[in-house]
Amino acid sequence: MDLTRQPPRRATNLSLAGIVGAARMTDKARAHNNGTTGEYLYGENSGLDAKVLELLGISDGDFAKAADEHDDEALQAWVLENSSVTQAEIDEFNQRELSLEPPNEQYKQMLRDRLAKYAPGRTDITTVLQSMQLDDWGSFWQVDLTVGPPRSPHAKDVAGCHGIARMADKARAARAGKIGEYRYGEDSGQDRRILEFLGISEDDFQEAAVNNPNDVEIGDWVLEQSGKGADEIAAFNERMANWGPEDDSSRAYFEQRLQEVAPSRTDIKTWAALQDVDDKLSFE
* pLDDT average, residue stretch 71-88: 97
174-207 pLDDT per residue, tens:
999 999 999 999 999 999 999 999 999 999 999 9
Instruction: Give the pLDDT score at 119.
Output: 97
Number of Cβ atoms within 10 Å of the Cβ of 200 = 17
Q: What is the pLDDT of residues 127-156, one digit of tens each?
A: 999 999 999 999 999 999 999 999 999 999
Dihedral angle at the C-alpha atoms of 84, 87, 90, 91, nearest 10 degrees? -160
Cα(95)–Cα(24) distance, integer angstroms: 17
pLDDT of residue 141: 98
State residue 114's pLDDT score: 98
- pLDDT for 21 equals 98
Whole-structure pTM value: 0.92
Within 10 Å of residue 96's Cβ, how many Cβ atoms? 11
